[in-house]
């Protein structure tokens, strides 16, 4: 069996397959597993703990998230909602910030210790087909043959594209994430974010960050750095509808008074970018074919519902279920599409496709541009009126708010909330 890509899907599959008697080879185009991988920064462990018993106990995770914050950003002001609770501190912890180069490298070492071979610096260029069945991959001049190929080669997945499993590109189904890792002393991080020990904070920012378009900003505290970045819909970014070019969005975000003091004195140590599948359930291509399975970002398994943005646990879990499928297929001695269709059933019985299905309307709902410009400005304006103490007499609160919330406004809000009820 050949696994293309040593990210969380590929390594999750390899970990599950180790000791199964199957001969597994993982191919990775980077210098080392993790060299090409990046994330905004948060891994939710609850959905995958049972699939990988004990594995995460010694994982190089950064901080557990004890504070969640969401800021609605208007041009000149912002409103922030913060949440913390004992449930976020109780063991087992729900989610952790993570840096992928470190994490993936660690996981790959575990996988290798369990006897699976990982070959780095190998770029897979194509699949080998024989009678409509995938029988291996082409890496440069090398033909590598296998009973089954597992494509875990990320959001663009050249492997599944060559195998004919992908839908034609719809720009609306993809976002671009860019990030700076900014190094800061851990004590400074604890002070600035009101943290103790290995507590961490996660903050999301919507509105002006993406100039009123779909997307937002994020900040995750790591042990000795913060991950600061933005996610923007590729369709908006490409279509001139964003006044700023993508790199300038990031600088404008960093310069916001809500952000600048948090990173002051820190130095950027890395700048990275990655495409993110955002289309959800409706944008999924084929998850399997004759002699091939697709997992992780390559399969489009990621879920953004505004407050939580998830991908990595979908990658780990889909890799795990792909591995289980391959073990069953080996018993059956058959790797054709009908045998491998078990993969889809396993995903459907798990949180992976259950969550994607439950939240299939969210891409359309969270794509509503009013959430990114109109409402941030409206909420900001109401807060400004409520908090302002003018030189003269202050108007009564109810008429002040009512002035903003006209009948037309309330009707629009009602219609938009009707959309939200689908989530």
Partner 1 sequence: MSEIPDLKAKLGLDVFKPAAEPHIRIRQGMEKDPRLKPAIRVCPAGLYSENERGEVILTIDGCLECGTCRLVCGTEILDWNYPPGGNGVQYRFG
Binding of partner 1 by 297 (CB under 8 A): no
Residues in the chain: 423
> Cβ distance 232 to 246 under 8 Å?
yes
Report how far residue 188's alpha carbon sits from residue 190's, in angstroms, rounded to the nearest whole number. 5
Q: Residue 401 has which token pair?
A: 């708010």
Question: Largest Cα–Cα distance of the chain, in whole Å?
Answer: 84
Nearer to partner 1, 224 or 416 (CB): 224
Taking each continuous run of H as one helix and of E as one strand, the counts in the chain are 16, 20
Q: Figure out which of the listed residues 59, 138, 188, 246 binds partner 1, where binding follows CB under 8 A.
A: 246
Beta-ladder partners of 178: 230, 273
Binding of partner 1 by 386 (CB under 8 A): no
Binding of partner 1 by 74 (CB under 8 A): no
Binding of partner 1 by 192 (CB under 8 A): no
Nearer to partner 1, 123 or 145 (CB): 123
Binding of partner 1 by 156 (CB under 8 A): yes
Report how far residue 213's alpha carbon sits from residue 67's, in angstroms, rounded to the nearest whole number. 26
Residues binding partner 1: number (CB under 8 A): 55
Q: Report in angstroms how near the CB of residue 252 gets to partner 1 at its nearest.
A: 10
Is 108 buried (19+), middle (13-18) or exposed (0-12) by CB count in 10 A?
buried
Nearer to partner 1, 273 or 386 (CB): 273
Which residues ranging from 115 to 144 are in contact with partner 1 (CB under 8 A)? 120-123, 125, 139-140
Q: Count Cβ atoms below 10 Å from residue 300 Cβ, excluding itself.
A: 28
Report how far residue 228's alpha carbon sits from residue 355's, in angstroms, rounded to the nearest whole number. 27
CA Rg value for the chain: 23
Binding of partner 1 by 313 (CB under 8 A): no
Question: Mask: binding to partner 1, 91-120, rule CB under 8 A, as x and -?
Answer: --------xxxxxx---------------x
Nearer to partner 1, 60 or 412 (CB): 60
Q: For partner 1, which stretch binds (CB under 8 A), given 10-18, 262-270, 283-291, 301-309? A: 262-270
Binding of partner 1 by 35 (CB under 8 A): yes
Is 335 buried (19+), middle (13-18) or exposed (0-12) by CB count in 10 A?
buried
Q: Report in angstroms how near the CB of residue 391 gets to partner 1 at its nearest.
A: 41
Q: Report in angstroms how near the CB of residue 170 gets to partner 1 at its nearest.
A: 9
Q: Residue 199 has which token pair?
A: 């507590």
DSSP state of 382: H
Residue 336: what are its φ and ψ, rounded to 5°? -75, 175
3-state secondary structure of 217: strand
Binding of partner 1 by 260 (CB under 8 A): no
Nearer to partner 1, 157 or 339 (CB): 157
Q: Report in angstroms how near the CB of residue 273 gets to partner 1 at its nearest.
A: 4
**Site residues (vs partner 1, CB under 8 A):** 29-32, 34-39, 99-104, 120-123, 125, 139-140, 154-156, 158, 169, 171, 174, 176, 178, 180-181, 225, 234, 237-240, 242, 245-248, 250-251, 268-275
């Amino acid at each position: 069996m050949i696994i293309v890509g040593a990210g969380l899907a590929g390594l999750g599959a390899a970990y599950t397959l180790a000791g199964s008697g199957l001969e597994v080879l993982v191919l990775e185009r980077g210098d080392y597993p993790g060299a090409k991988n990046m994330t905004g920064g948060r891994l939710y462990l609850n959905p995958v703990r049972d699939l990988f018993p004990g594995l995460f106990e010694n994982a190089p995770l950064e901080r557990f998230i004890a504070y969640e914050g969401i800021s609605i950003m208007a041009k000149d002001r912002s409103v922030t909602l913060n949440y913390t609770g004992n449930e976020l501190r109780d063991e087992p912890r729900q989610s952790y910030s993570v840096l992928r180069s470190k994490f993936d490298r660690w996981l790959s070492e575990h996988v290798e210790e369990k006897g699976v071979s990982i070959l780095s610096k190998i770029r897979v260029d194509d699949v080998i087909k024989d009678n409509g069945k995938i029988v291996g991959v082409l890496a440069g001049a090398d033909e590598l043959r296998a009973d089954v190929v597992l494509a875990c080669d990320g959001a663009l997945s050249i492997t599944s594209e060559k195998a004919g499993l992908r839908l034609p590109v719809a720009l609306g189904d993809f976002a671009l994430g860019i990030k700076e890792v900014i190094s800061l002393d851990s004590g400074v991080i604890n002070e600035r974010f009101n943290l103790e020990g290995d507590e961490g904070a996660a903050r999301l920012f919507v509105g002006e960050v993406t100039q009123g378009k779909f997307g937002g900003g994020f900040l995750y505290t790591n042990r000795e750095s913060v991950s600061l970045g933005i996610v923007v819909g590729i369709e908006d970014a490409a279509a001139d509808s964003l006044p700023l070019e993508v790199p300038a969005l990031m600088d404008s975000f960093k310069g916001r008074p809500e952000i600048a003091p948090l990173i002051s004195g820190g130095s950027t140590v890395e700048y990275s970018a990655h495409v993110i599948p955002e289309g959800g359930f409706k944008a999924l291509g084929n998850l399997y074919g004759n002699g091939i399975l697709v997992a992780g970002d390559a399969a489009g398994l990621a879920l953004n519902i505004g407050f939580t943005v998830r991908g990595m646990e979908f990658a780990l879990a889909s890799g795990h279920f792909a591995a289980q499928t391959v073990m069953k297929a080996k018993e059956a001695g058959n790797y054709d599409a009908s045998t491998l269709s078990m993969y889809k059933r396993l995903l459907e019985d798990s949180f992976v496709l259950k969550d994607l299905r439950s939240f299939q309307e969210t891409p359309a709902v969270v794509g509503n541009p009013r959430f990114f410009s109109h409402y941030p400005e409206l909420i900001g304006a109401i807060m400004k009126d409520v908090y302002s103490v003018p030189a003269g007499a202050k108007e009564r609160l109810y008429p002040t708010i009512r002035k903003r919330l006209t009948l037309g406004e309330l009707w629009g809000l009602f219609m938009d909330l009707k959309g939200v009820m689908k989530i």
